[in-house]
Each structure stands twice: as C-alpha cells, then as structure tokens.
Chain A
Amino acid sequence: MTDYNQSNPLADLVICACAQAWQGDGEVLATGIGVIQRLAASLAMVENPDLMMTDSEAYIVSEPVPLGARHGYEPKRETWMGFSRIFANVWAGQRHALVGPSQIDQYGQANISALGDYVQPKVQMLGVRGFPGNSISHANSFFVPVHSKRAFVPNEVDTVCSIGYNSARLPQGMSLDDIDIRLIVTDLCVMDFEPSSKQMRLRSTHPGVLVQEVLDNTSFELLTDEVVETPAPTAEQLATIARLDPNNLRQKAVTAR
C-alpha cells in the first residue's frame, strides 16, 4: 500500500532535475509519460505557464492535472487534443517529450519495442509506438529509474525505436544537428550531449553519488569534464510537487539504492 505520508527525496530530486529539460522551451507541448516524467512536465509548466500540457487523454489543459484519483478536481480543458491532432503537433515540431525507454545507447537511440533477436524476441515489449516520429520531429529527453549497464547498453540498443546521434544511421541529406536530445536523468545522475561532438556527457551526480559509480553502471564512455552536484529541490518546488501528486504516486516510482 502507498503510504501517503512517506516521503521519497530521490523522487523529488529527479522530478526537479527532469523539469529542467524544458528550461528555455517556449510554447511547446510538454509531454511526460510515466509518473516521474509527468510530474516533471507538470512542475515545468507551473514554472513556465507558456508550456502546454494535456490531461493525458484528449484535451489540452490550462494547468497541469494532478496525478491519479482526482478528489473532485476537474481538469481545466481548453482545447481538444485527440491522438490524430497530437501527430499534427508532433510533425510541426511543437513538442518536447520526456519518456522512459528500457534501453539507451551511446548515440541516444532508445528502445521500447523488443529485447534480443528481432524475429524472435527474448522479451517483446510495447512496440516502437510514436518514438520514430517523435525523435525526428521534436525535442526529447529520457528518464531511467535504474541506471545500469542493462539500461545503458554497449554498441546499439536491440531495437532502434528513436533516432539518435549516430552517423551510420543518419538519413541522407540530414545533419546530426537536426536531432535534438536534451537531458537524460537517472536515479544516479543527469546527462546530456556535448553540442559539437554529440558525445554523451555527465553534467551532475545526485548527492552522495560518485562519478565512478555512474561510469561503472554505464556500458560506454561518458565525458566527465565538469560534473557538479544535482541541485536540491527548493521548498517551493517541493510544495508544488506535493500538490500535483496528491496520491503520492511518486513514492514508488523510483527507489534509492
């Protein structure tokens, strides 16, 4: 059972870190798929009301909808946004999604489709869903709840669902600069891609996490030139998160080691 009073400092920390992904974004649709991801998008929209969000069903809302049981809250719907219209928004590039893939590789290519052999997968997962279109159309960020070598795999992910900074797969006539992967947040750290080399780099480690621990749990090299500590949530952010998560769904969304 969820203990409504049990706090989860790691969840609050990664929600605030993930919310940074939308920093500087203007009037784009902020989509967070998953508990941490959606709370992060919600927090980002509270801090930047120009962002747009949906009720995760079929409408754009004027303020983020608290997660789970509504306790009488009515979403403040302002625009119909069914799935067919989502694609119009995606293809126009007016969106930044934060998603939670099962595998990520050195190029930022991600997998939610299948593990192992493609013809006969060891584990069939969801399918590519909207990852191919999202990744080539608009900005994307990732959240990984357990930073491990199983998540950050060597070479390439088993099924490449989203385009990354991989010259070998770059479509003819496109540049790596056309691809926009922003932040990768995990239970250990925050990473991004160095703009010129497109190499994944460690930006910050969470309090108490050593750089070596991140490297030991990643199957490929990371740039580690300027690593700081992930900033702690402010009191205001904590209050906002608590208001947006009245059912404390974040308590079990990520677990400290």
Chain B
Amino acid sequence: MNKLKNLNAALAVVESGMTVGIGGWGPRRKPMALVRELLRSDVTDLTLISYGGADVGMLCAAGKVKKLIFAFVSLDFIPLEPYFRQARQNAEIEIMEIDEGLMMMGLQAAAMGSPFIPTQVGLGTDVVTRNPDLALIESPYADAVSADEKRQWLAMPALNMDVALIHVDRADARGVCQIEGPDHYMDDHFARAANHTIVSCDQLVETDWFHQQPNAVRSVFWERSCTNSIVNLPFGAHPSSCNPLYGFDAAHFKHYAASAKQENGWSNYFQEFIAPGEQAYLDKIGGAEVIESLPLPIY
C-alpha cells in the first residue's frame, strides 16, 4: 500500500473540533512542518494531546486550540513556552492537566481499547481536584493488605484521538518508520492510540534500505499498519531537534520567544516564517546546510 501523500493532502483529514495528538517531547522531534500546515489551514477548535513544546505554543497563538491535554509545555532551555503561557494567563483555553506518566497510560488505554487504567498516580494532588471528570475507584479484588477502608485508585481514561502527528528520521512509502535518535518518547503510543496517524519523515527510503540496515529495524517502534500517511518533509522537525540528524535551533526559538513580547508578534512570526509555505520556510532558515550543522543538544 502506498501511503505517500503531499503535505496538503495528508492533513485534509483534520477537521475542526477534532482531537489531535502530537508526538515528540518539548523541543525534541516535533512534527513542526505538519503543525505549520495546520496553522495555514482554517481548521480550528482542536483538542490537543501533547508533551508540549512550540507545537502547542504556536497552535495556541493562532487561536486553534479549544482544549489542551498536557503535563507540561516547555522549550527546555527556555523553560516557559511563551505563547502557551499567554493562552493560560489570558484564560483562553480549556485544560486537562495531568502527570506525564498518566498521559502515557491514557495513550496505552486508547491503544488497547480499554476504557481506563487504574493507578495511584495523581492521587492526593490537584490532578484529581482540578479534573473532576477523573473517576476514583476501588479495586474489584480484595486488597493485598487488609485495611479498614479499601484503597482508592485513579481510573485514568483512555485518551482517544482522531489524528496523531509524528515526525521520524526515516520511512518508506508503506509506513515503516524508523526513529534513530536516543528516544522515541511516546510516539509509538500516539501511533497506536490514534484513529489516523500522519507521519512526516526526514528521509524517504526504499524498503530495501531496512534490509541493508538490520540494526535499524530495532528502532522501528510500531508496525506499518499503525501508519496511515507518510509525508516526505526533510528537516520537518525544525526548529525542534531530530537527533542524530540535527539539534534544535536555539537562535530560532529565541526569535520565536521574543516575538511573544512584541506587538503583533505572532502575526509577524506567522507572516515571516509560516504563511509562505514549507519551501520558503527552509530557504528562510538557510536550507539543509544550516540545519544539518545545528549542534546536537547536551543535556
């Protein structure tokens, strides 16, 4: 099955009001080219699920977010994401703020078709008090330690989503995706949780590439049946990192963060970098030579 699509056609499945999951982590391997195409579209009223970075910040800045399901939004070296911060401080978005691990459990529950996963994570904190929809349950089994009262558990609901957006190092047109970098984060869980998974790749390869690189097959984290569309987008994670191909663009993130303090900052950023399209974006950044030379981050 050939799943190769152009950017516009791949994102045509995203409609206003949908729930969209976004892979990556903070400023690391975010599907930013897919996000920029969403920003160019008239889609709005989205519910986002993300280990958030500039993906969340930009979609908030553009007014496309109805609700955000998150544990953090951060650019790491710029700890506080400027546009997410504005959206929260202006009370512009609904939120479901949960623990990082709870989010992983929600994705796993969605992937396995289970309505919830019981856990102690979140109990005793504002995750419970600020999310009244989160149910507390008792085990249907006898408690291991006999107590006067049974222990309570948080029933983390499945985080079902219409679409997941993910960026990988390499893919073939059939949807075999390789993440070569040190961490695939929760991308496999996103790919499995979503009804429809769109993957952009830095490098489109023939299937034979995998046959020639048997070790690379160990870094394929989901089956091609979980991938619905492949979009060939070299440097599609920029300004986030795609380790080992390139690091995140600290100078660009600083420019982006500074725009949030300027009048019409977002509008100017959008017009300068996003509106003209992806080819213009890469030209503006300086092309392959500049992005490939971005140093890998040291944590």
Contact = CB atoms under 8 A, between A and B. Distances in A.
A234 B184 CA distance: 42
Residue among A83, A90, A127, A172 with the highest chain B CB neighbour number at 10 A? A127
A118 B130 contact: yes
A186 interface: no
Contacts of A31: none
Contacts of A129: 71-72, 99-100
A132 B122 contact: yes
A131 B125 CA distance: 9
Interface string A176-211: 000100000000000000000000000000000000
A14 B88 CA distance: 35
Contact of A130 (B70, B71, B97, B298): B71
Interface in B124-153: 124-127, 129-130, 136, 143, 147, 149-152
A171 B183 contact: no
B260 to A, nearest CB: 12
A6 interface: no
A133 B122 contact: yes
B74 A83 contact: no
Interface stretch (A39-47, A162-170, A214-222, A235-243): A162-170
B88 A171 contact: no
B97 A123 contact: no
A87 B100 CA distance: 9
Interface in B90-147: 90-91, 97-102, 104, 119-127, 129-130, 136, 143, 147
Contacts of B168: none
B71 A127 contact: yes
A37 interface: no
Interface in B202-234: none
B127 A132 contact: yes
Interface string B63-102: 0000000111110000110001100111100000111111
Contacts of B298: 68-70
A33 to B, nearest CB: 11
Residue among B70, B90, B100 with the highest chain A CB neighbour number at 10 A? B100
A75 to B, nearest CB: 10
A137 B70 contact: no
Interface string A124-154: 1111111111011100000000000000000
Contacts of B91: 119-120
Contacts of A62: none
A82 B120 contact: no
A130 B99 contact: yes
Contacts of B73: 126-127
Contacts of A58: 182-183
A57 interface: yes
A252 B236 CA distance: 36
A129 B183 CA distance: 18
Contact of A161 (B79, B123, B125, B152): B125
Contacts of B100: 83, 87, 129-130, 133
B85 A124 contact: yes
Residue among B74, B88, B152, B189 with the highest chain A CB neighbour number at 10 A? B88
Contact of B101 (A56, A90, A162): A90
Contact of B99 (A83, A84, A128, A173): A128
8 contacts: A84-B104, A87-B101, A127-B72, A128-B71, A131-B125, A160-B125, A171-B152, A172-B136
Given A130-B100, A172-B149, A172-B151, A137 B72 contact: no
A109 B123 CA distance: 12
A227 B127 CA distance: 36
Interface string B145-180: 001011110000000000000000000000000000
B25 interface: yes
A136 B121 contact: yes
Nearest to B243: A57
B18 interface: no
Nearest to B105: A87
Interface string B171-201: 0000000000011111001000000000000
Interface in A57-71: 57-59, 68-70
A119 B126 CA distance: 13
Contacts of A164: 124
Contacts of A173: 143, 147, 149-152
B150 A172 contact: yes
A201 B88 CA distance: 36
A169 B182 CA distance: 39
A236 to B, nearest CB: 27
Contacts of A161: 125-126
Residue among A133, A164, A169 with the highest chain B CB neighbour number at 10 A? A133
Nearest to A175: B147
Interface string A61-95: 00000001110000000000011100100110000
A159 interface: yes
Nearest to A58: B182
Given A130-B71, A132-B121, A83 B182 contact: no
